[in-house]
Structure 1
Amino acid sequence: MAAREKSLKHRLKHVNTTFEASSIDSTAVEEKLFGQAEEDEDSDDGPVVFICGKCKLPVGDSLSWDGSEDDQNQIRLKRVTDNVLIGKDNRLYEVSKSKRSLCLVLDLFCQGCQSVLGMVYASTPKNLDHKRFTFCFNVADIDSYVLGSASQMLAAEGPKEQPVTLEYRGIVEQQLTEMKMLVISMAHRLEEIEAGLQEGCDEA
């Protein structure tokens, strides 16, 4: 009899250890299933393409970003496209009247419409050396768009292909939600079973 009780306790201890090692947290399961969609929606936007404000030719992108000058309403890029032309005539430009920071600049032109987009600093005081060798664009003269932000699509073609309608999408989303709820319900049930086994081990 004593040997039988010892064997039963050993089996219960083995079961308890097994469930401790593979314990399932229903809250974690729910976060995995329903939290993934929220993370996808909050994902970062793609690169930004800067275009001429008039003729819409691309002039650069955010992968060449070097900084911004809020007080002058400008952005700085390290590289630009061939649609940007650098003027040949230097001119004096005063960055700040209070500090009297005179610079030599070259204007930047759009190759398509010849409009002025910004400037390149050819010579600057020491405190403005960070502006040299960069392309400074006037925010008022350019536009931008985010890659991957387009939403318009052509309807699917072919006898076997069906366009994804709002009704079909709603059905699929409903089925996915039901499957997720089923998994969460199973996780809760496993928690209850685990708790029952734990109580049995404690009583033994």
Structure 2
Amino acid sequence: MATVKKLSRHRLENQTFERASVDSSTVEEKLFGKTVQEEEEDDDKDDPVVFICVKCRLPVGDSLSWDGCENDQNQIRLKRVTENVVVGKENRLFEVDKRSVCLVVDLICRGCRTVLGMVYTSTPKNLDHKRFTFCLSVAEVDSYVLGSAGQMLSAEGANEQLVTLEYRSLVEHELTEMKMLVMSMAQRLEEIEAGLQEGFDEV
């Protein structure tokens, strides 16, 4: 009976140890936030891109709404655009090739009235993936990658002067003059104190 209890207790201790054990990646995540694998995955991800009108620079969309691209048409497709893009009202015929004729409406920049691209409202079956997406012409939009800015101001501000040899020499000269002035004032103060002391002694 004592042997059975001992074995049961030994198994319970083993189970407790197994449950309490954790792998190194869990500990690393608790201590440092992200694991090495997650950081590598983050590095592989592209930063968001803002698309802007090439003429008036108004933002028209971003890569978070990306739907694809059409290299043959020199277009990018977005699921959503900003309010700076006006959707035209009149349909017109657009011939992708001899066998593919579509109905499209123009996409117009609200700021400068430039035609940025089109929306396909009616397509043959092989072009259904384009229908009712915002197709922007690469020639009419520019892009800006968020986080790509590199210029920074120093902690002291924009007017910080670079430490050149000439500047250093000037500062050292000014410090020497200030030191001499302080020493002269200290000597003068000692003379005044000595004169006062002599006056008190005579009294």
TM-score of the two chains, using structure 2 as the length reference: 0.55
Match of 2:139 in 1: 140
Q: Which entry has the higher C-alpha Rg, 1 or 2?
A: 2
Match of 1:119 in 2: 118
The one-letter amino acid of 1:88's match is K
Counterpart mapping for 1:26-175 below 5 A: 43-97=44-98, 100-157=99-156
Match of 1:182 in 2: none
Higher RCO (C-alpha under 8 Å, 6+ residues apart): 1
Alpha-carbon distance, 1:43 to partner: 4.9
The one-letter amino acid of 2:86's match is L
Deviation digits for residues 2-49 of structure 1 (CA, Å, limit 9, x no counterpart): xxxxxxxxxxxxxxxxxxxxxxxxxxxxxxxxxx8xx69x65431011
CA distance in 2, matches of 1:129, 1:44: 29
Runs of 4+ residues over 4 Å off in structure 1: none
Deviation digits for residues 112-170 of structure 1 (CA, Å, limit 9, x no counterpart): 10000000001111111110110000001100010000112233248xxxx8x9xxxxx
State percent identity of aligned pairs. Answer: 75
Match of 1:180 in 2: none
Deviation digits for residues 67-99 of structure 1 (CA, Å, limit 9, x no counterpart): 0000010010000000000011110000113xx
Give the match's secondary structure for 2:68. Answer: strand
What value does the CA root-mean-square deviation take over the aligned residues? 2.5
Match of 2:167 in 1: none
CA distance in 2, matches of 1:136, 1:116: 11
Contact 1:45 1:146 in 2 (8 A): no
Give the match's secondary structure for 1:95. Answer: strand
TM-score of the two chains, using structure 1 as the length reference: 0.55
Pairs aligned (count): 122
Structure 1 alignment gaps of length 5 or more: 1-35, 166-204
